[in-house]
Structure 1
Amino acid sequence: MVCRGRVTKMKRAMNINIKRGGDDYFLNRLFSYLTSELEVEIKEITQLRGNVYLVETVERHFILKGYKDLRKLKIQEAFVSSLRKTGFDHSYRFYNQNKDPLHFHGSYYGCIEYIDHNEMRFDYGVQADREKGVELLNRFHDHTSVLVPSYAGMLPKTDLARKWRHRKTEFAKNLSGVNFYVKKAIIEEVLEWADFSLGNFVRLKSELETGLPVILHGDVAHHNFLRSKEGKLHLIDFDLISSGSRGYDMLQYANRILPYLDWQFESLEKISYLNKWLDSDAFLYGLLYPADILREWNRLLRNRNQTHPYSLAPIVEMTVGQFQQRKQFQEEVKSRLND
């Protein structure tokens, strides 16, 4: 697919087929712009989220993703290309990254290879998927370790402590909104967990930084693991890449899967590539930080979605429904730290 150039034949307006999911006027103009710039015949555009679209052409599908900053687009294109050259083929490609980017309505757009989904979606609730996910993440780190020098001036160094401080500060400003839905005593204890974890993590985080640095993924949410139609697992979306110890990605991975392990520490010990980090006090203190609770409440209130039951209910369940399990987990980890 060519991602810039004049079309070789006229496209008729009657061919436009736009699904719901975005502003029709914007999508119609985007359709017209792409039709004038791409040497493919577009059949359909579907907004997936934000500035990300699925584009169906006569020959294939591709993902169209917009970036406000041209530099960010160029870094993404370069990184994905570099990653593939290391031999890591568990991700997508950008099309024609050496051409001038598409520029529309203040955003720069990249054309990304579409990976058709398997009916069996990746699921942190499935033990085999949790194990395959962390194995793929570890392989990703193995490959990105050789890229660190090349991207030293392009990527930030990870600073998890700073990120957590910012998240806690925002949460503190949102307390009145949170306390409207959750008992004050529960929120006070959650904040105690955050203070205890963060203070000790800052003191010991150098423990995690002794090995060779890698390029970190930075967002190991389940939706960034994609199983192709053929059954091959892929890692996608590198918007938050940074450099640092692989322990930071592993810590985030552990925090992501703990709710699916019913907050059982011994279940973490059984997972390869994670269990070796459990010998680090810094890693254990990091496990105590209620990252998901603070993140999701901040997001909910920032977007003013607290009046929407479908948005509110999962976060209340995360905070209240899992509270006793989390509290027991806190006590178990603290006992291990005191041994």
Structure 2
Amino acid sequence: MQQSFVYEAQPARVVFGSATSARLPEEVERLGLQRVLVLCTPQQTSLARRIQSLLGERAVAVFSGATMHTPVDVTERALAVVREQKIDGVVAVGGGSTTGLGKAIALRTDLPQIVLPTTYAGSEMTPILGQTENGLKTTQRSPKVLPEVVIYDVDLTLSLPAAGSATSALNAMAHAVEALYAPDTNPIISLMAEKGIRAIVSALPRVIRKTDDPDARYELLMGAWLCACCLGATTMGLHHKLCHTLGGLFDLPHAETHAIVLPYALAYNAAEVPTAMTHLRRAMNTDNPVQALLQLERQCSIPLALRDVGMPHEGVATAVAQVMANPYRNPRALGQRALSELLERAWSGSGID
């Protein structure tokens, strides 16, 4: 059957492989940057200092205050450094928290960005920025937040612990799962999503068994990149709305929240998205993608319930009200009772019948 569609590729230069961090100086020079600010979280300051050393005089400062959900007050502190140091570009080293801060700076200043991911979060491939202020996380899309260059260095992921690798990879997988049934999905997205999910399902158990396996890490990073591209080219639905809401309200860990919610959100929509489920069955080599997801998560020994990552039980009603007040488009209509049941199950980790 013929299908008319629109596919809009996101502009980005990607450098992929092992030891590719060494190419950072030439990428900085190619962009004509002279006064670079290196961004990181407090936990990755030593890595940021190594990157600063690699760039020499061009890296004039390190800002190590990046944190989850991109709080607006953190962005303001980083912008003060940008102004004081006359920064002309940023290098973000780390996961989604650091990438988010670089995007927030770019939104306000239009400064060029180079990202060196150390996780599988995928934010570097999307024109989406989520920011948190006063307990409310909001998202927006703008081409201004897209990094100019992404350097994927498999070596930077080798030290990521097993649990962190699992939750980050499942976060990436959620991008592709939801893209398969987005209202603006298309055959190109479906190809990338199926390939990305298959790579993650294949590589993740190997990484859990042996975290420094370079071949498994390579495949996992490639899969995460493909999944992120899917999110960058489509709109978000219930899964991302729930995770953004929960993260903003309760400051829950980003990747863990995505991993926990994913099978429950998929089960909620499954009956309405038969084509997406066909792609998932092929990608995961299973007749029941929802149960296969739950089984994969059990194998990874990660938190399986929202209560285990800090969500209070009384927060279920608050989260449902906020989702219903400003929903994302979704294949299945949102109902308060059904959403409450979904979140109750995800909160307790009771699984899906």
Return the index of the structure with the highest Cα Rg.
Answer: 1
TM class, shorter-length: 0.3 to 0.5
TM-score by length of 2: 0.32
Name the structure where helix makes up a greater proportion of residues. 2
